[in-house]
Amino acid sequence: MLGIEIKRGVEATLERVFHATGNRFDKLTVVWNGKTAGVSAKKIGNGVDANVIFPSIDETKAVDKKLFNKLIGYALHELGHVWFTTNQPWEDARNKYGSFVSSLINGLEDPRIERCVYESNYAPNARALFENLTNAVLEKDGYVQPDDFKNIPFMLAIEGRRLNGYSITHPSIVDQSPYAEHLSWALKSAHKARSTAKIVEIAIELNNRLQQDKPQDPPQPGDQGGDNPGDPSDGDPSGQGDDPADGKPADGKKGKKSANGKGREVEPTEFINDELEQHKAQCDDRRERPHVGKPVFTDVYFY
């Protein structure tokens, strides 16, 4: 497939999904000149203005069809948050408990909203697309170590999807974790949860249990305080901007190095950015261009 076919296919598919929801979407825009992938939405009454953003892609380049499925899976995942995530309880917990709790919420919420998407029948093949995207992320960077505290949110996101029934290519590592009892409780509880508010409650309780069992690192000479995952001043408040973890994952495959010592990103955003990096047009390094799916109108003035 050419890049232009990928773009048009993604836009047409998302439009069909929006119509299938039975909800009123005031405006749907798909943009292909963003610096990073993402979905922004504004709820207006019973309607939603949705803006799906992808990094640029060269319309003339040949692109593997597998990338199309990854893009659709990513967009459906992020739209799942728009449809089924209630932001306020999450925001309140982030402000009160910090970014690590926010990441725990993210790791538990992701499998829940994906289950909501495919059970809603908004997109009949959504489960297969989510499973494909999850395995693609693991294939690229491997899994994490079962005793890696900072990567617990990532582990929850993977193992929660396994509970959803996904066929995950990497074996479960929960039983090998020193926090296995707490993680198993959280995963089973989250699988029964029917709201973001309940997920938040589970994440807060899980954090309390984990902090009690977390080994304390001995202070180093000149140490001014490390990166404490439970510190409210720590890092990205959403928990969605963390770099991949240090060290080797449990499957022995070397993962990406982390510059800031934080865990791997729970959301698949960085993965999608990397996938599209090799397909961007050289001119996009100099200036942004309008996307090609639908015409973009502007005012023209003559002097």
What DSSP line would sit under 152-187, residue for residue?
A: HHHHHHHHHHHHTT---SSPP-GGGSTTHHHHHHHH
The model carries a pTM of: 0.79
Sign of the dihedral through C-alpha 272, 274, 279, 285: positive
pLDDT digits (tens, 9 = 90+) for 107-159: 999 999 999 999 998 888 999 999 999 999 999 999 999 999 999 999 999 99
| 8 A C-beta contact, residue 34 and residue 276 | no
Number of Cα atoms under 13 Å in the Cβ half of residue 56: 15
Residues of the chain with pLDDT under 70: 22-26, 46, 216-261, 282-303
Q: What's the confidence (pLDDT) of residue 229?
A: 36
Please tell me the predicted confidence (pLDDT) of residue 285. 58
Instruction: Please list the residues that pair with 27 across neighbouring strands.
Output: 49
How much is the pLDDT for 49? 80
- Give the CA distances from residue 108 to residues 31, 250, 266, 297, in Å, rounded to whole numbers and listed in that order: 29, 21, 10, 41
Give residue 217's pLDDT. Answer: 57
Residues 6+ apart with CB under 8 A from 51: 29, 31, 39, 40, 41
User: How many percent of the chain have pLDDT more than 70?
Assistant: 76
pLDDT value at position 15? 85
The pLDDT value recorded for residue 139 is: 96
Laid out side by side, the sheet with 38-44 consists of 24-34, 47-55, 38-44
